[in-house]
Amino acid sequence: MENKNTDPKEVYTEYNEKFDKKLMIDHDYDGIKELDNPPPPWLMWLFYFTVIWSVWYLAWFHWFDMGRLQEADYAHELEEAAEKYKVTAMDEETINILTAEEDLNRGSEIYKKSCVACHGDAGQGGIGPNLKDADWIYGSEIKDVFGVIKNGTDKGMTSFKSLGDEDILKVSSYVLKKL
């Protein structure tokens, strides 16, 4: 290189002339100067994009309420799950015993799977009390039986809440109708 110039000011002046560009900004603060040296275009475009995106986001979610924010989305998913798994709670005071054969069959299925171990295959009792006779510790009405199966007792009867109210009602009906 022929250029032996080491004074930065002159180097910049040369550069500006050569590329017909003004690299040094005129602004001078106590001798400190600033270069006109913006970030590369792709970075600037990324930045503009985030600005536009934020305005869109504000409008979509907050001004016009078009989208669902986290909380609303969560509530929506719970609703969908409740619909899908039918976990809507039944009111124990107003439930009625089921008599349809298919409901009682379903009740029988559940009984065979979850209850025989303690109450015997015909409800004759074992670890748990007899469910055939007319003696009831907690009452013989559908709501009593439903309540015991759903909530369990502290003397050894497990809570079967996880069955869901519909299945609890079916097995309760089975116990009362068929055993």
Residues binding ligand HEC (CB under 6 A): 110-111, 114-115, 117-119, 127-129, 131, 136-138, 145, 148-149, 153, 155-158, 160, 171, 175
Tell the smallest beta-carbon distance from residue 134 to ligand HEC (Å).
10
Question: Residue 44 has which token pair?
Answer: 């600037």
Sign of the alpha-carbon torsion through 163, 169, 173, 175: positive
Query: What's the Cα-to-Cα distance from 58 to each of 44, 55, 62, 140, 142, rounded to whole Å?
Result: 21, 5, 5, 59, 53
For ligand HEC, the closer CB: 22 or 86? 86
For ligand HEC, the closer CB: 61 or 141? 141
Axis crossing angle, helix 165-178 with helix 101-114, rounded to the nearest 10: 100
Tell the smallest beta-carbon distance from residue 162 to ligand HEC (Å).
10
For ligand HEC, the closer CB: 13 or 92? 92
